[in-house]
Chain A
Amino acid sequence: MKCATSLLTTAEGAVADIRTQIGPVDGKWVIFFASSDYDPQLVSAAMQQAFPTATTCGCTTAGEIALGHMTKHSLVAMVVGDDLLEDVAVQVVTGIGAGVDLSAAVAAFEQKFGEPASKWRHDRYVGLVLIDGLSKAEERINDAIGNLTDVSFIGGSAGDDLAFKATHIFANGESYGDAAVLVLLKTRHGFGTIKTQSFRATERVLVATRVDEAAREVLEFDGRPAAQVYAEAVGALDGDIAPFFQNHPVGLMLDGEPYVRSPQQRKGDAIAFYCNIAEGMELTVLEGTSIVEDTRAAIAKAETELGGIAGMINFNCILRTLEIEQRGLTDAYGALFADIPTVGFSTYGESLIGHINQTAAILAFKSP
């Protein structure tokens, strides 16, 4: 497994730089994350051309992570060989804004791996999912995946450096919008998934009593205007709630673990979120803790449980990245990934069983 970063500004130059850094390695699978500065079709085609025998996939980002550094306006890549992967397959699902049907993708995986989805060993197979970050289709895609298989799918929503205009998904030399790429990996030694979010639960619980699910808006908490109830819960005495969003998202709590839903903006008396909230859901108001320390502890725990990590792919929420930058912790966070080959990007949402926010969802390949 090898990783590389290029800060060269043209797609062709950056890909050539990546190829040189990787050296003469015949990877089985190449995953790459590219700033939206690059022409998406050019970068995807160039990566496939540079690694002609590998399966390639990736997406655009809101910042990149590799070789122990968080970067911007760069191209990062990880090459995984057959020492870690028995096999890999990629399927692209298009038109996800209009509807999600994964049956053809799953059927293709079943044919490729020669066994039905129900027989995929959940301790050997792991999936990746990269989704157009402006599609608002993440909940439906994760829900459909979870219905079809017990294999863990981990991933993130593509970004576009906070322009919020267009995000792109890459697979096998092509670039796609309004799409998701599903990757099924058959690992040789197993893997772990790390879900870390730096929040503790407060005592305050809000019930979403009126919502607009399609718009990801909560109109009422506890039978009253959502913005007013949230303001009371977080102590926004003047009703200006936006400054409280970063440090006080809400979470669905299960077994003491939050599944974070982050407020995006106030819309009159309603609050728009980055995640769907269903009517009747009970949401605990959360309070921020230390991203660097919590992530360090989560990686250390996974390393102990797995008995060694050969490499990681980090799907790190852009809201975490913004907080890391505001607190001057970019170097400290990047350094957490210096000792283990890691590639990743700042996402517009994370996927692990479902769609989540303000979380790092990390795939860790178990060492041989």
Chain B
Amino acid sequence: MNGQAKRLIDAIIAQRSGGNPTLMITTRTKIMLKGVNPERFLTSTPDDPVIINKLRQIGRDLGVNV
């Protein structure tokens, strides 16, 4: 399977920011500083369980349900 990391990143950003453009940028930055660079993940990126688990934890940290 491909693209799960990107889907999780997009979901975290969308939920946390509520669509606010400033908060979308801030949330992207928070995800990067937590260790996952959103720019590195595309819909074609092969799924990596380590990254998926890390993103689920980031979602929990940021209080969003992904």
Contacts and interface: CB of A to CB of B under 8 A. Distances in A.
Nearest to B28: A254
B24 to A, nearest CB: 11
The B interface is mostly helix, strand or loop, or mixed, namely: helix
A326 interface: no
Interface string B39-53: 110000000000000
B62 interface: yes
Given A122-B23, A353-B29, A147 B39 contact: no
Nearest to B54: A280
Q: For chain B, which range describes its interface: under 10, 10 to 19, 20 to 34, or 35 or more residues? A: 20 to 34
A280 B35 contact: yes
Interface in A226-266: 252-255, 259
A281 B28 contact: no
B56 interface: no
A354 B29 contact: yes
B41 to A, nearest CB: 12
Contacts of B16: 150
Q: For chain A, which range describes its interface: under 10, 10 to 19, 20 to 34, or 35 or more residues? A: 20 to 34
Contact of A353 (B30, B39, B40, B62): B30
A353 B23 contact: no
B3 interface: no
A143 interface: yes
A147 B35 contact: no
A254 B25 CA distance: 10
Given A252-B37, A281-B35, A353 B26 contact: yes
B62 A278 contact: no
A254 B37 contact: yes
A354 B35 contact: no
Nearest to B62: A147
Nearest to A152: B26
Contact of B33 (A123, A152, A354): A354
B26 A254 contact: no
Given A122-B23, A353-B26, A143 B62 contact: no
Q: Which 10 A-B pairs have the closest CB atoms?
A: A354-B33, A278-B35, A146-B30, A353-B29, A147-B61, A254-B32, A150-B23, A252-B32, A147-B62, A254-B29
Interface of A: 122-123, 142-143, 146-147, 150, 152, 252-255, 259, 278-282, 353-354
Given A252-B32, A255-B28, A354-B30, 13 more contacts: A142-B33, A143-B34, A143-B61, A147-B61, A147-B62, A150-B17, A150-B26, A253-B37, A253-B39, A254-B39, A281-B35, A282-B37, A353-B33
